[in-house]
Chain A
């Protein structure tokens, strides 16, 4: 069966589902109906395309990173420049789609969680553009390491709530957003930032992010007259990765590599690699791979990149891994920082720390492939927000 057919009944194989409190069941069923209608409505599609093009600056370029390719030695490395999308990351593709849907369903208040702050910024932007009120939940620790984005959100008119519970990172921000949604479900739209949560979110966010892979397909064809040999993307929740992979799922000749945050190494226990270093479980509304202890308590994760610092992963990724369609690997903090520096120096492009993980693996992969092969790395965001973190890591505090 074609892999693009999933989800079936809200599931990807056995993964996914709707494990949420009863209070939310009616809302997520209504959301699914509203989304499926919108998807088929030419007017909605036209509106979304308009905003993607004239507001977010799509299509983003596919850039042949010639210097980086030479520096690495091996296969050609192309970069899908999501860092050039409005807001500096791929997140806007999803927030525009969902904010339009919020408006269409008559919800005036939008809530969202954010880790690195990129999804919060993208939500605040889409809401400002469409005249919606936005409230962003962000972990206290993340607010500290991503101060710049906190202020950006405020500038954009969002109300930022500091989440002080649990590990004070992305998972706790999602917990708090879910609690808000349970209390205000009648007038509130929950705009989830990744392919996680209960169905229909993983499907809906994937669909909105698939614009990445669709553009790669046609742009690569224009340049090379064929399909790429491999696609590489980083995975926290997994939205840029699934957006990259989805249009190629049924092209078996295209290898798919998903790169998780290895932190200080899988054996150190300090990582955020849900698939490579976790087990199956039920968390945030979905059955998927999660990082947990023997009892099933969710563990704190570690990654130098706030955007990957999440103990779960989208259920479609768990499925792709279970059938062997995508390969899941890790890159450590150190490897990511090395790649961050390497791309900055060789190409004059400062990548975000999240896709620096993808670049780190792409460097290894490229070396094993011949010069006639080509891989596409999705550069999911730009690295301005990470400069301070990297400076500290390299022992040169600003």
Chain B
């Protein structure tokens, strides 16, 4: 069983949902990332998702675009993100997922990328611009390295496609909650709930469902978990705190408090 699968079965036994915390690696600079991840984990994050900054993040809204820019300006490279991953895994025994736009993986060479991912302790990979149709070589390489490949499904995804995506995904299925890019939003829409229910029907609990995009408040987390999701993915909410705090200790404190609030909302009943 993969590390991600283990985490989800543990959560199920404890009757709670998972909290997946996304941060852009190297934001505000590469030295901070491992420390930030530590704090998120202490605050209750069950899985860390580390975004490798890419110059043209088309699936991201202004908050993560700005983080990407800060990180690239601070000199973050793909190699450095691997080293940050290693540092995080050395201190913590939780699953680590990286999110990368496909060109960074293609450029490195798909096999090469997974060689490094394995060596540095990465458990799963999310690629927001790689649909299943283009993923044959990628999937094969990931399987050979026993790394989970997390695919996405969206509100526009038909039932047939959903079935197909559920076959391809491993670790969990990433449900994109809305039509749109990443970013903080006011409320959870009815279409998000319907997507969770639809995905539930198709997967029958065979693969955990994690909902992301626009989830930033404890009540959002609560709503998606109660609607049948196994985990909530929060990104821009964390990134905004990183952006707003110049002083490291204040930032880490604020991140810790926010993570606690979100995690508390994952407990069922």
Residues of A within 8 A of B (CB): 17-27, 165-166, 171-172, 175, 178-179, 182-186, 280-285, 287, 290, 292, 294-299
Task: Give the residues in chain B near A292, CB-CB below 8 Å.
Answer: 103, 107
Q: Are B102 and A183 in contact (CB under 8 A)?
A: no
Q: Are A166 and B56 in contact (CB under 8 A)?
A: yes
Given A166-B56, A295-B107: A26 touches B179 (CB 8 Å cut-off): no
Question: Least Cβ distance of A27 to chain B in Å?
Answer: 7
Given A185-B179, A281-B107, A295-B77: A26 touches B156 (CB 8 Å cut-off): yes
Q: Are A182 and B130 in contact (CB under 8 A)?
A: no
Q: Are B106 and A183 in contact (CB under 8 A)?
A: no
Interface segment, B20-28, B57-65, B114-122, B230-238?
A: B57-65
Task: Give the residues in chain B near A26, CB-CB below 8 Å.
Answer: 156-158, 161
Interface segment, B9-17, B147-155, B254-262?
A: B147-155
Task: Give the residues in chain B near A179, CB-CB below 8 Å.
Answer: 58-59, 61, 180-181
Task: Give the residues in chain B near A165, CB-CB below 8 Å.
Answer: 65
Given A18-B134, A182-B179, A283-B56: A23 touches B103 (CB 8 Å cut-off): no
Given A25-B131, A175-B56: A295 touches B179 (CB 8 Å cut-off): no
Cβ-closest chain B residue relative to A294? B107
What is the bound-complex CA distance between A295 and B116, given in angstroms?
14
B129 part of interface (Cβ distance < 8 Å): yes
Q: Are B154 and A22 in contact (CB under 8 A)?
A: yes
A-contact 0/1 string along B235-254, CB 8 Å cutoff: 00000000000000000000
What is the bound-complex CA distance between A284 and B102, given in angstroms?
11
Cβ-closest chain B residue relative to A178? B58
Shortest 6 CB-CB distances between A and B: which pairs? A296-B107, A183-B180, A23-B154, A297-B55, A296-B104, A296-B103
Q: Which of B56, B58, B77, B133 contacts A21 (CB 8 A)?
A: B58
Besides the contacts A166-B56, A175-B56, A296-B78, what 18 more A-B pairs have beta carbons closer than 8 Å?
A: A18-B131, A18-B134, A21-B131, A23-B155, A25-B131, A25-B154, A26-B157, A26-B158, A26-B161, A27-B156, A179-B58, A183-B180, A281-B107, A292-B103, A295-B77, A296-B54, A296-B104, A297-B54
Q: Are B158 and A283 in contact (CB under 8 A)?
A: no
Q: Are B152 and A22 in contact (CB under 8 A)?
A: yes
> Which B178-206 residues have C-beta < 8 A from chain A?
179-181
Q: Are A25 and B157 in contact (CB under 8 A)?
A: yes
Task: Give the residues in chain A near B77, CB-CB below 8 Å.
Answer: 295
Question: Least Cβ distance of B210 to chain A in Å?
Answer: 14
B72 part of interface (Cβ distance < 8 Å): yes
What is the bound-complex CA distance between A21 and B153, given in angstroms?
9
Q: Are A19 and B134 in contact (CB under 8 A)?
A: yes
Greatest chain A CB density within 10 A among B56, B59, B65, B128 is at B56
Given A283-B103, A296-B103, A296-B107: A21 touches B59 (CB 8 Å cut-off): yes
Task: Give the residues in chain A near B176, CB-CB below 8 Å.
Answer: 21-23
B165 part of interface (Cβ distance < 8 Å): yes
What is the bound-complex CA distance between A280 and B61, given in angstroms?
27
> Which B53-90 residues have C-beta < 8 A from chain A?
54-59, 61, 65, 72, 77-78
Task: Give the residues in chain A near B31, CB-CB below 8 Å.
Answer: none
Greatest chain A CB density within 10 A among B58, B78, B156 is at B58
What is the bound-complex CA distance between A80 and B106, given in angstroms?
39
Cβ-closest chain B residue relative to A165? B65
Question: Least Cβ distance of B16 to chain A in Å?
Answer: 28
Given A17-B134, A21-B59, A26-B158: A182 touches B181 (CB 8 Å cut-off): yes
Q: Are B131 and A19 in contact (CB under 8 A)?
A: yes
Task: Give the residues in chain A near B161, CB-CB below 8 Å.
Answer: 25-26
Q: Which of A21, A184, A282 contacts B106 (CB 8 A)?
A: A282
What is the bound-complex CA distance between A90 and B3, given in angstroms?
55
Q: Are A282 and B102 in contact (CB under 8 A)?
A: yes
Greatest chain B CB density within 10 A among A280, A283, A290 is at A283
What is the bound-complex CA distance between A204 and B14, given in angstroms?
53
Q: Are B58 and A175 in contact (CB under 8 A)?
A: yes
Task: Give the residues in chain A near B156, CB-CB below 8 Å.
Answer: 22-27, 185-186
Task: Give the residues in chain B near A25, CB-CB below 8 Å.
Answer: 131, 133, 154, 156-157, 161
What is the bound-complex CA distance between A249 and B258, given in angstroms?
60
Task: Give the residues in chain B near A184, CB-CB below 8 Å.
Answer: 179
Task: Give the residues in chain A near B131, CB-CB below 8 Å.
Answer: 18-22, 25
Question: Least Cβ distance of B168 to chain A in Å?
Answer: 11
What is the bound-complex CA distance between A294 and B55, given in angstroms?
13
What is the bound-complex CA distance between A168 and B65, given in angstroms?
14
Task: Give the residues in chain A near B128, CB-CB below 8 Å.
Answer: 21
Provide 18 A-B residue pairs closer than 8 Å at the C-beta atoms, listed in order of the A residue.
Answer: A17-B133, A21-B131, A22-B131, A22-B156, A25-B133, A26-B156, A172-B56, A178-B58, A179-B58, A179-B61, A179-B181, A185-B179, A282-B103, A282-B106, A283-B103, A285-B129, A296-B78, A296-B106
Question: Least Cβ distance of A168 to chain B in Å?
Answer: 13
Q: Are B129 and A23 in contact (CB under 8 A)?
A: no
Cβ-closest chain B residue relative to A296? B107
Q: Are A171 and B103 in contact (CB under 8 A)?
A: no
What is the bound-complex CA distance between A319 and B43, given in angstroms?
51
Given A21-B59, A27-B156: A297 touches B181 (CB 8 Å cut-off): no
Q: Are A297 and B133 in contact (CB under 8 A)?
A: no
Task: Give the residues in chain A near B56, CB-CB below 8 Å.
Answer: 166, 171-172, 175, 283-284, 298
Q: Are B154 and A21 in contact (CB under 8 A)?
A: yes
Q: Are A295 and B129 in contact (CB under 8 A)?
A: no
